[in-house]
Amino acid sequence: MTQPSVGPVRTQSFTFAHPPSPMVLDSGVELGPVSLAYETYGELNADKSNAVLVCHALTGDAHVAGYHEGEDKPGWWEHYVGPGKPIDTDRYFVICSNVMGSCMGSCGPSSINPATGRYWGLDFPLVTIPDMVRAQRELVRFLGVEHLLAVTGGSLGGMQTLQWAVAYPDMMDGILALATTSRHSPQAIAFNEVARQSIMSDPNWKNGDYYDGVRPDLGLAVARMIGHITYLSDESMHVKFGRELRGGSFAFNFEGDFQVESYLHHQGKKFVERFDANAFLYVTKAADYFDLDLASQDSPARRALAGTSARFQLVSFTSDWLYPTYQSRQVVDVLKSLGRDVSFCEITAPWGHDAFLLPDERLETVIRGFLGGLHGC
């Protein structure tokens, strides 16, 4: 039986000039105006206590649920957001925005620099996850919300979720972070750097100034192939592909004998149709820069978390080797040492890092139970 959907939705745009001056980024650069693409679902209740902010992963967008006009592909978390679903739009007012630096409607290197009338390219300043969260805070205020019931997200979205707790510790009742980390490991940074080099080595990249000509599709496709491998698991690759051959026997050439090779090429080709190469550089760099420094006993993040009354729920997946379980446990251990209200769930799943995006009854139960247990709704 088909699950109910929020139905037709549209992406909106919010632009602000950070008062009383342009937004000052972590790099020290001033940026303004700042534009964010966003979508909302459900209704804000009378006392404005039912707002849930959903933060998307690395190359995601604001379209978390429902359908755009003329399209049959639903939002990226359609299984979890909608009427009667774990993030119930009959009960919650759901907000999702595209992060700064991306290319899915928010300001980034592929948008127009108002000072020049040309594409920003590499003139767009590097942004961090704290920068992204500060911009989201302006959007939430614009929507009339001063206190969030919960902030949730997976992967890069989970990093934003943890940053929300650090930057605005009194502004939410709950933090639900999925398949994420408080800092990128050297391995994660290494994979991102190889992916970035594949883009920057493409002769069509032209130091980011390619928007009026041929785009670096080959480099971006290879970058996506590299990244996609980290989202899967050894077990899931065995289940999906094994060593199955495309033609039944070796072709004795370099066209790609194995089904897994064909799959990665397909993923790379699809990706270049929807994402921008420069934006990939920016969002991966933001992920690499992220570090809450929870290991330091007197870090600003620990001090902020020590003062929050928010409840925390962290979720990891057994086969996620990009952000393995020990990284979630490190966050949980710090929160426990600070006396915070925190729960942890490791879900057995064979699908690797992408498991948080896929239907899973156990994850449904965790999300529904956590949100339902928060006060104020």
The question of whether 265 is a catalytic residue gets the answer no
Q: Which listed residue (173, 217, 288, 320) is catalytic?
A: 320
Give the span between the Cα atoms of 169 and 32, in whole angstroms: 26
- C-beta neighbour count of 45 within 10 angstroms: 15
- For the record, the structure tokens of 78 come out as 């359609």
Shortest CA distance to 93 belongs to which of 135, 13, 38, 138? 38
Residues 6+ positions from 206 with CB-CB distance below 8 Å: 213, 216
Give the span between the Cα atoms of 123 and 296, in whole angstroms: 34
Give the span between the Cα atoms of 182 and 292, in whole angstroms: 6
State the burial class of residue 359 (Cβ atoms within 10 Å of its Cβ: 0-12, 13-18, 19+): exposed
The rounded Cα 210 to chain-centroid distance in angstroms is 26
Q: Which listed residue (5, 110, 155, 233) is catalytic?
A: 155
The question of whether 353 is a catalytic residue gets the answer yes
Give the span between the Cα atoms of 34 and 368, in whole angstroms: 34
The question of whether 296 is a catalytic residue gets the answer no
Shortest CA distance to 267 belongs to which of 223, 216, 237, 203? 223
Q: Which listed residue (198, 288, 353, 360) is catalytic?
A: 353
Give the catalytic positions in this structure. Answer: 155, 320, 353
